[in-house]
Chains A and B, each alone.
Chain A
């Protein structure tokens, strides 16, 4: 097999030396080349992620354990003071609770609704293509815009939801849809669900389409009812798609920033804050970068538990296809 330096990136330096002239290479260096080659192929990707993902991770951990000036200068280890400050502040437990409510509510409800929607869209019916294209809309729309429209729709003074319901005759006077911070938070959750459903739906659809229809035919011949087929054929076979979408959603929703930022900015008094909006305010409004980093690290630790489940699962699956 003839191997040459792949022209993938100008950045790689060390391995290039070894691949100088492939034609006249003795067999031992050819062997070495074959060993090194895969690393050359993955190096651009590794360099990119090292600079823009790994370094920020290291920085955040460093900041979280250091005394940081408002200008962002590190002033040495401060005995986990950032963490104790964060954990002591009364806002933090509220924010943590909000984050859990937000994540769990959005992920569970959108998974259930997305799954049902996928079952519906998997039927053959006229207009199915159009319906699918429409369902994609919220996924394709950037969250800021989606959130500002919902913010407009539910406005108590001039929102279109009130106008619409009054025109239909369901209500006679404008309703204040967001009387309490809790109600506002519930609307934010609804918006989160609205934009998450398409992703779940399409993951499940991809799972559903890989199911061999002969299973259903055989089950019908055996006299199985709809729900029997659902629970003994469909669910077990789309389980892997559902797991992937659920785990990814936990991560995305947990880290979701634009919806809450656009609708309430976490106000009033942290009542609608989640960890990410809270840490954004700490870092960029209050200049407490150390404490904000500590919040980040706490977030990682929570997510790491979810990610490790996902990683074990996908790696096992990946080994099967190899």
Chain B
């Protein structure tokens, strides 16, 4: 008796569950399709020839023209663009970390006058996007002789990523107990040693996340590079690919073939940190 009552009660619930499940999969599938559609269009277009693109009759390329992916390297200094992007992104990451780690450490482990003010400034600095300050940045760069140089871009990227770096690392460091470092200090380590040998290894996951995030930001940066760099061979990919986006005609197939080269490394990196990003983005602490 009680068994059958249970069965009756269970049945509608499970039916509802099945429908909800189906609905869930339907929505998720839709979201994925819409999200991936631009990439699909990009890949298909990158494999077509000019005539086929401008006829607008096909979705998939009639014959996949893989040679487009090879042609771009000779049609524009793609290798240079790629190298510049790598240099800018790695340089910015290194400088942002070298400046950000000590600052985050001080904010997490020490108390000092002006701490709140510094933290406040770090937060407010996010408000000033490089675009709005472009005129000022340009003038500073002129004075430093860093216009049209990769080094200038590296410094600007590093500076504008400080807020994020400090904020994320401070959260990471605060999430790690100071006891081990204190023990290390008793054993005769000084602050720098205890940070390098004890804290940083434990904080590694958070540090890697921060590192990759800065790298991606610098890799994807467009506006400052557009404004500061005028020599073609010094352009990063984001600016350089516009070579194919001419005044008179757009070479879509080359533009998108080059774009795919610009996207792939970043998407891979992003997927590596996706999990850590979720666990700590808004809570202000990436916990290892």
Contacts and interface: CB of A to CB of B under 8 A. Distances in A.
Given A2-B188, A153-B41, A258-B223, A207 B282 contact: yes
A202 interface: yes
Contacts of B203: none
B136 A56 contact: yes
Interface stretch (B3-11, B64-72, B76-84, B99-107): B99-107
7 contacts: A2-B188, A6-B191, A63-B135, A127-B28, A153-B38, A251-B127, A321-B284
Interface stretch (A86-94, A134-142, A227-235): A134-142
Contact of B123 (A9, A159, A163, A315): A315
Contacts of A315: 116, 119-120, 123
Question: B55, B98, B135 — which one has the most chain A CB atoms within 10 A of its CB?
Answer: B135
Interface string A204-243: 1111011000000000000000000000000000001100
Given A49-B125, A63-B136, A120-B27, A255 B131 contact: yes
B243 interface: no
B56 A174 contact: yes
Given A203-B282, A241-B283, A49 B120 contact: no
A9 B95 CA distance: 11
B35 interface: yes
A59 B158 contact: no
Interface in B123-159: 123-129, 131-140, 142, 155-156, 158-159
B281 A203 contact: yes
Interface of A: 1-4, 6-9, 35, 37-39, 41-42, 44-49, 51-53, 55-60, 63, 72, 117, 120-121, 123, 125, 127, 130-146, 148-150, 152-153, 155, 157-160, 162-164, 167, 174, 202-207, 209-210, 240-241, 244-245, 248, 251-252, 255, 257-258, 261, 276, 279-280, 283-284, 289, 292-293, 296, 299-300, 303-304, 306-307, 310-311, 314-315, 317-319, 321
B239 to A, nearest CB: 8
A25 to B, nearest CB: 13
A149 B119 contact: no
A157 B252 CA distance: 14
B190 A3 contact: yes
Nearest to A61: B136
B252 to A, nearest CB: 6
Name the residue among A144, A146, A157, A206 with the largest chain B CB count within 10 angstroms.
Answer: A144
Interface in B82-113: 95, 98-100, 102-103, 105-107, 110-112
Nearest to B139: A59
A205 B103 CA distance: 28
Contacts of B140: 51-52, 55-56, 59
A315 B120 CA distance: 7
A141 B266 contact: yes
Interface string B233-259: 000001001100100000010011001
Interface residues of B, number: 102
Contacts of B280: 206
Most B CB contacts (10 A, CB to CB) among A37, A42, A133, A209 go to A42
Interface of B: 21, 24-25, 27-28, 31-32, 35-39, 41-42, 44-45, 53-59, 95, 98-100, 102-103, 105-107, 110-112, 115-116, 118-121, 123-129, 131-140, 142, 155-156, 158-160, 162, 166, 174, 185, 188, 190-192, 216, 219-220, 222-223, 227, 238, 241-242, 245, 252, 255-256, 259, 262-263, 266-267, 269-271, 274, 277-284
Contact of A48 (B36, B95, B138, B252): B95
